[in-house]
Amino acid sequence: MTMKSSRDAQPVIVTVSTPEDGPPPGLEPIADQARIVHTTDAEALRGAIGEADILMVTDFRTTIVRDAWAGAAKVQWVHATSAGVDAILFPELVDSDVPVTNARGIFDRPIAEYVLGLILAYAKDLPHTLDLQRAHHWKHRDTERIEGRQVLVVGAGSIGRAIARMLNAAGMQVTGVARHAREQDADFRAVHAVESLPGLLAEADYVVVATPLTPQTRGLFDREAFGCMKPSARFINIGRGPIVKTADLLEALRAEAIAGAALDVFEQEPLPADHPLWDTPGVIVSAHMAGDFLGWREALSAQFIDNFQRWRRGEPLQNIVDKRRGYVPVKE
């Protein structure tokens, strides 16, 4: 088998990035341990994939890996520098023996900070304050407190747990939702099974989506789900756009069935300039950036390098994705 010999020899790492992002920074420490080939388009990947031992995929929306996969003669490991791996879990890779790892952990705390910022923006009416400032208009208002408010975090994984810790520290009451209920949890008041979602939605002041996109979570937030929420509740999605049926969300916002939606991810990205969400009252739009702190690309490369050294030593890789579930399952 080629596995041992290619680990001893200089393996070939092929990176897959968008032309806009370009090659990942921070791989210099392994420049003498591997031959690194950067690709940013389908043609280059098709040309390089045949010699690849490892694929490092930094484009979390990529479709070109699937297109080129038939030529992947000796790929032993695919690493995604994202937490969400929905785009690369195509059937040929899922059915293969090739392990997929992801960037679980890197985005946890930054996203938690972002979610706290969004909650404070709503509670303290900051978007309105900025509008008034631009209009040079002095207008006193009373604002909401966040202490004691109920937050439902749907997706009690690595990111969801960091969100819970952050919001607990701010005095909020945080409940989690996962595939399965857990008896006791250090960070959530309770973790309920997703089947209990309708009743839980009815209690929440803020609903935060932090699940991966899987066949089970696609469209999870639809008319029925929004119909369960309180008219005063705000919805925050930092997971993936297709977890939400956008038309149903728009309908709920227009009918004032919910009070607001802060959206970092969308069914269609970039959100088209003429999309109604931009101008819908109570909506905060951001450009899929909730986890992207200054230095994040270098942090992702450092995480990859750590796993690469494990791979070279023949040790178990970190963050192995359960390719059928679509994420890295929590050890129970």
CA angle 245, 251, 257 (to 5 degrees): 110
Binding of ligand NAP at residue 242 (CB under 6 A)? no
Cα dist from 232 to 10, 89, 205, whole Å:
58, 37, 7
Considering the complex, state which of residue 79 and residue 104 has its C-beta at the smaller distance from ligand NAP.
104
State the residue for tokens 């099974």.
193
Binding of ligand NAP at residue 172 (CB under 6 A)? no
Closest CA to 290 of 144, 134, 121: 121
Residues forming beta bridges with residue 327, ordered by sequence position? 322
Considering the complex, state which of residue 11 and residue 206 has its C-beta at the smaller distance from ligand NAP.
206
Per annotation, catalytic residue among 92, 224, 256, 269: 269
State the residue for tokens 């699937």.
66
Considering the complex, state which of residue 34 and residue 118 has its C-beta at the smaller distance from ligand NAP.
118
Single out the residue of 115, 178, 208, 261 in contact with ligand NAP (rule: CB under 6 A).
Answer: 178
Residues 250-289 contacting ligand NAP, CB under 6 A: 264-265, 288
Considering the complex, state which of residue 160 and residue 260 has its C-beta at the smaller distance from ligand NAP.
160
CB of 82 to ligand NAP, least distance (A): 6
Single out the residue of 58, 175, 211, 307 in contact with ligand NAP (rule: CB under 6 A).
Answer: 211
- Collapsing DSSP states into helix, strand and coil, what is residue 291? coil
Per annotation, catalytic residue among 149, 161, 192, 288: 288
CA angle 112, 114, 117 (to 5 degrees): 110
Give the x-and-dash track for 27-66 against ligand NAP (CB under 6 A).
----------------------------------------
Which window, 33-41, 135-143, 234-242, 245-253, contacts ligand NAP (CB under 6 A)?
A: 234-242
Q: Which two tokens stand for residue 167?
A: 């919001």
CB of 163 to ligand NAP, least distance (A): 9
CB of 42 to ligand NAP, least distance (A): 24
State the residue for tokens 């935060």.
208
Contact 106, 299 (CB under 8 A): yes
# of chain residues touching ligand NAP (CB under 6 A): 35
Closest CA to 205 of 183, 236, 179: 236
269 is catalytic: yes
Binding of ligand NAP at residue 149 (CB under 6 A)? no
| Cα distance between residue 170 and residue 67, in whole Å | 46
CB of 251 to ligand NAP, least distance (A): 23
240 is catalytic: yes
Residues forming beta bridges with residue 206, ordered by sequence position? 151, 234
Binding of ligand NAP at residue 323 (CB under 6 A)? no
Single out the residue of 212, 241, 242, 260 in contact with ligand NAP (rule: CB under 6 A).
Answer: 212
| CB-based contacts of 92-99 (< 8 A; 24+ apart in sequence) | 92/66, 93/65, 93/66, 93/69, 93/323, 94/323, 94/324, 99/317, 99/320, 99/321
Which residues form the catalytic set?
240, 269, 288
Site residues for ligand NAP per CB under 6 A: 83-84, 104, 107, 111, 155-160, 177-180, 194, 210-214, 216-217, 238-240, 264-265, 288, 290-291, 327-330
